[in-house]
Amino acid sequence: MKTSYDAIVIGSGPNGLAAAIAMQQQGLSVLLIEGRNEIGGGLRSKQLTLPGFTHDICSAIHPMAVTSPFFSQLPLEKFGLSYLYPVADAAHPFDDGTAAVLYASLEKTAAQLGDDRHAYEQLIQSLLRDFKGLSEDILGPLQFPKHPLTMAKFGLKALPSAMQLAKRFKTREARGLFGGVAAHAIQPLTNIATAAIGLVLMLNSHAGGWPAPKGGAQSLANALAGYFTSLGGEIVTGTFVKALKELPESKAVLLDVTPKQLLQIAGERFTSFYRWQLQRYRYGMGVFKVDWALDGPVPFTAEGCRQAGTIHLGNTIEEIAANEQRTADGHHPEQPYTLFVQHSIFDDSRAPAGKHTAWGYCHVPSGSTKDMTAAIEDQVERFAPGFKDLIIGRHVMNTADVEAYNPNYIGGDINGGILDITQLYTRPAMRWSPYTTPAKGIYVCSSSTPPGGGIHGMCGYHAAKKALKDVFGIRI
């Protein structure tokens, strides 16, 4: 580590890596500091259960990484990254043994929705045609859009709640499929703008698919780090920064942290009003996560589920909405909405020959330490009878474990703060640029800034873009 740098980035999650790369691309000297011994933040993989079984500790499927306006432009394949795609992106099973399936093909997805075929096509088609421009506007701060007409069309569809938008559909299948995707919002489906989460993820499916990096999410982090260091960037691991005074000299510091850590690290440099805003920042529901080593493939009753990388377990949209509301109200539903991923059906490097891995979580009240293992496994068994008999290894994480793994996950919140309408563009505070702080040269580049959670790196990119302009007079 040198005594001075042009810029220092704290935190090597996807946003920290994106910020560091964007700065280094401009020929600056950039230091990236990571508290853990491994880089990646939400992009880490380990053998959590048994030898030979690779599990993603947090993020598992990466539709937004593939279509990210920043990540998609980087030559990451030269640094070992390759994406693998399941036959179907996602599936949504029902109690009668059938399932609605989200395919990369819009036509194939719509064709199975019966009376809602045309309604689904009308919802998605016009936005999909302009997806590249739409993605640039969605994945950024609140500003006049580069593509105003496309954004206006999106806004009309995205501003309602997921439950309101689902009224466009008549069939249980279309409503359930949309509800399962929209529940990635980690908030009640009656909240304003939860439709946006469902729309964005479905558009990503039809624009680029829902893949995973071969060998685990760590492969994406390693490729980003490899590209960064190839440009001359420097990475230091195993160093938790507790105060800015611990850092080498620099002209700019970008922090991939949430408001709680930002106050701890740099609070003394801020105005009282900004500190007050950070203290009022709201975190959302947490997650309880289970990883499994399995003796065989998951025996889902519905064939579509056996082909899908991601499964949304929750039955009807009404059941999902009711259980998500109970969780938001501080309860633990007996049949929680469960997000389930089965990497090994399309990536045989994840498990020994003939064996399989599975990954799943449900939402729980913030800070909950209640063991939800049985509830989650019962929910899988509900749609895949015989699943429990295949379990040969298990690793569980409650919200305290999740936060211990990554200090950004306050109370188990993996989104860096609730992504509701009041914090969608004003995260972490109400400012002309959300990436700036009142302290000169200090910027926030985490998912606690727009556009929020997800593996896309755009929070880091936009923060770096602002710092480059302010501090170095460089426009990108």
Q: What share of the chain is helix, strand, coil (3-state, %, to 5)?
A: 40, 15, 40
> Would you call 276 exposed, middle or buried from its count of C-beta atoms within 10 A (0-12, 13-18, 19+)?
exposed
pLDDT at 319: 98
DSSP symbol at 26 = T
Q: Map out the domains of the chain as residue ranges.
A: 4-82+214-282+413-472, 85-212+285-405
Q: What is the pLDDT of residues 260-308, one digit of tens each?
A: 999 999 999 999 999 999 999 999 999 999 999 999 999 999 999 999 9
Task: Spell 57-82 as b/e; 16+ CB within 10 A means b.
Answer: bbbbbbbbbbbbbbbbebebeebebe
pLDDT at 451: 95
9 pairs with which residues across the strands? 32, 254
C-alpha torsion 33→36→279→442, nearest 10 = 0
CATH number of 85-212+285-405: 3.90.660
Report the distance separating Cα 91 and Cα 305, nearest Å: 5
| Bond before 428 cis per omega within 30 degrees | yes
Report the distance separating Cα 325 and Cα 328, nearest Å: 5
The percentage of residues in the chain with a pLDDT greater than 90, rounded to a whole number, is: 95
Q: What is the pLDDT of residues 422-432, one digit of tens each?
A: 898 889 999 99
Here the tokens at position 380 are 């899988």
- Is residue 380 predicted with pLDDT exceeding 90? yes
Q: What is the mean pLDDT of residues 387-392?
A: 98
Give the helix/strand (H/E) hosting 309: strand 308-313
Q: What is the pLDDT of residues 150-168, one digit of tens each?
A: 899 999 999 999 999 999 9
Mean pLDDT, the chain, as a whole number? 97
> Considering only the top CATH level, what class is 4-82+214-282+413-472?
alpha beta
Bridging pattern class, strands 391-397 and 286-294? antiparallel
Phi-psi group of 102: left, alpha or beta (phi > 0 → left; psi -120 to 50 → alpha; rest → beta)? beta
Report the distance separating Cα 267 and Cα 271, nearest Å: 8
Report the distance separating Cα 277 and Cα 428, nearest Å: 8
